Structure 1
């Protein structure tokens, strides 16, 4: 949901210091404030399952880190908390500020759709535009209710949808050589 605390206010990261420390997730995209609550357990289950498989791949291949709900601060007006990211070791060495937040786009960003139409629009449109602008290479949108994954991949200077995977499909990515995961395993 978008906060209507002051619809004409242009929010920045400095404003976040005045918000309560609670179970809400505060994100700012293009100066607009988005507030979400703790997600459904099936949302968390999908991200935990995917995170486990990607972490196993990363450890086996000694490549990068998989992190859930990291802070990404691209500018004072673009501050988001995706559900999961994968970042290469090379990028990790230069992409973190003193507070441990990422200041550069990780190679992979994953969002699991929430249940409200406004949250779904944010992930499919607003965040897609942001992640495209800042240089994310792969963006995966997981729909736990429909049990499918939309895959976006960088082509030229922006992210384009390359496929939609369903429960019977296999998930692969050029980012992860030798990685194959049954989509069904994400939702089990």
Structure 2
């Protein structure tokens, strides 16, 4: 679960991602529950909000999961990554607010992800499902102090 600072980042992340991938049918959730645990900070899934009025998105419905790590980096990168990989989530991001980096996990296996990239500003990234929708890391991080 995100703390206050992370919640502020999530509030900014949601519309920035939404604008970048608006042309596709999807739904954005904050603190949605997928398959009991864990509870991600943001989920990008296929469909509309009405598709999930009685159920949560299943792993095959999910394009991207984002965790915002202010105080949870170790858990997000060393525990949750394995849970999401085991579930078959193909694109998992951890936004490291303190170090101003984005951890990108891709190519899931039953034991974890085979690719773990770390990018920092001024780099750009796009979700696997929306390669035309690049977003600059500076667009989703809070202003530097």
Residue 88 in 1 paired to residue 46 in 2? yes
Check the 8 A contact 2:70/2:98 in 1, yes or no: no
Aligned-pair Cα RMSD in Å? 2.4
Residue 68 in 1 paired to residue 30 in 2? yes
TM-score, normalising length from structure 1?
0.64
What SS does the corresponding residue of 1:55 show, helix, strand or coil? helix
2:83 aligned to which of 116, 130, 133: 130
What SS does the corresponding residue of 1:124 show, helix, strand or coil? helix
| Shift of residue 156, structure 1, vs aligned partner | 5.8
Q: Tell me which residue corresponds to 1:113.
A: 69
| Shift of residue 168, structure 1, vs aligned partner | 1.4
Residue 40 in 1 paired to residue 4 in 2? yes
Count of paired positions? 138
Check the 8 A contact 2:122/2:136 in 1, yes or no: yes
The runs of at least 4 consecutive aligned structure 1 residues that moved more than 6 Å come to none
Task: Determine which structure has greater relative contact order: mean sequence separation of CA pairs < 8 Å that are 6+ residues apart, divided by chain length.
Answer: 2
Structure 1's unaligned 5+ residue stretches are: 1-24, 26-37
Distance 1:182 1:54 in 2: 10
What SS does the corresponding residue of 1:72 show, helix, strand or coil? coil
Residue 163 in 1 paired to residue 142 in 2? no
What SS does the corresponding residue of 1:80 show, helix, strand or coil? coil
Larger radius of gyration: 1
Distance 1:101 1:148 in 2: 29
Residue 49 in 1 paired to residue 41 in 2? no
| Shift of residue 70, structure 1, vs aligned partner | 0.7
Residue 182 in 1 paired to residue 145 in 2? no
Distance 1:141 1:170 in 2: 14
Structure 2's unaligned 5+ residue stretches are: none
TM-score, normalising length from structure 2?
0.80
